[in-house]
Structure formats: C-alpha cells, structure tokens
Chains A and B, each alone.
Chain A
Amino acid sequence: AQKVTQAQTEISVVEKEDVTLDCVYETRDTTYYLFWYKQPPSGELVFLIRRNSFDEQNEISGRYSWNFQKSTSSFNFTITASQVVDSAVYFCALFIQGGSEKLVFGKGTKLTVNP
C-alpha cells in the first residue's frame, strides 16, 4: 500500500527564516512520482513540483528547493527566506505510474509565516 506521512502538522516561523517541510513516503513500486502542492487560504491547490523516482537530483526554484532521497524515502521541501505570502497548507503526494493512478496525499503541513 502507498502512504505519505507529513509528520509536522503546523509550523510557525518569522519572516526571513528558512523552513523545511518533511515528507516521508511508502511504496513498493519502483516507478512513481512525488508531488508538492500548496493550498493558500483562498483554498485552491497549486502545483509546485513533480519528481519521478529515477531522478534524485535536488531542485531549486527561486526560494524553493526540494531534497529527494530514495534511501530514506523522503522528499523534503525547503523555503528559504520565508515570506508572509508563503503561509499556506503544503501537501506532499505520491503517484504510482501504471498502478491505481491514484494521487495519495499526506495530511498536509500548515505553515504560518509571521511578519
């Protein structure tokens, strides 16, 4: 069975701090995709990144970076120099290619960035 665990339910930081959101996944499949989505207070789900299981390169996009480590089944997300606009719920998700085609979500981490 597939499972995604986001152990941090809520995180609160002060603006300009760096913050890392943890994601641990479980699957026996060798081909899969990992995602991060952002859900701001307005409620929509915004796609941030997709990473496939064969690409362990870390990725950086502006203030956002992702660390994928298959050895620990983790796909952590770091926001550098956080801003108030980063306040949102962040979801990590797992997708098995050729399986149930189901995107399995973690419970989400609520990030609050205070001015």
Chain B
Amino acid sequence: DAGVIQSPRHEVTEMGQEVTLRCKPISGHDYLFWYRQTMMRGLELLIYFNNNVPIDDSGMPEDRFSAKMPNASFSTLKIQPSEPRDSAVYFCASSLWETGNTIYFGEGSWLTVV
C-alpha cells in the first residue's frame, strides 16, 4: 500500500519566492496533518484537516503560510513570501479516526530558503 506521498523532497529557493509543498494522504484516511521540524522547536503541528475541512490552524506561524485541501487525496502548504527562517523539514501525515488514529508520516519536504 502506498504511504503518504510528499513532493518535492528537497527544495532550495530564494527569499521572497513562493513555495508550494504537496501531499497525497493514504487513501481512505480522514485526517491530514502538516508538521514542521526544526532543530530549535522540534516537531510542531501547523494545521490539520478532517474530511478536507481545516479544523485547527493555530500552529500556522504567520499569514505567509496557508494550507488547502481541495479533495480527500490532495493537500498543499504554501509559503508566500518565503524567508530564511522558514527553512525546515515539513511533514505531511494522515490518519483514520475509526482505527484509532495511528498517524502515518510522509518522508518530508526539506526546504531551504537562502
């Protein structure tokens, strides 16, 4: 079975540019999460969706960050404009409430803003 698929795996961009990270959750899962990992803050939840609806975006750091889930099989996390402090690994994860919400993570998108 395919796991959570993220793209791109690695992205290097210049400050001020728009960055779009993409995620395909595990088929049938009803929760989707975006996490960010940095050395300073560890793993932190940015936003999560339930049945494509954003439920809690309190972890989104600034208005420069936005996330969408237009359908059950696709989500994006956008940063516009990007800044060097956005450099981090961004993980997408998904889970199915009915089976106890084991949360499976993608391989991460490694973002470097120079």
Contacts and interface: CB of A to CB of B under 8 A. Distances in A.
Contacts of B55: 101
A100 interface: yes
Given A52-B100, A101-B50, A44 B105 contact: yes
Contacts of A44: 105-108
Interface in B18-69: 31, 33, 42-43, 45, 48, 50, 55-56
Interface string A94-109: 0101001111010110
A107 to B, nearest CB: 5
B101 A45 contact: no
Interface of B: 31, 33, 42-43, 45, 48, 50, 55-56, 89, 91, 93, 100-108, 110
Given A33-B101, A43-B107, A100-B56, 9 more contacts: A43-B89, A47-B102, A52-B100, A101-B48, A101-B55, A101-B101, A102-B45, A105-B43, A107-B42
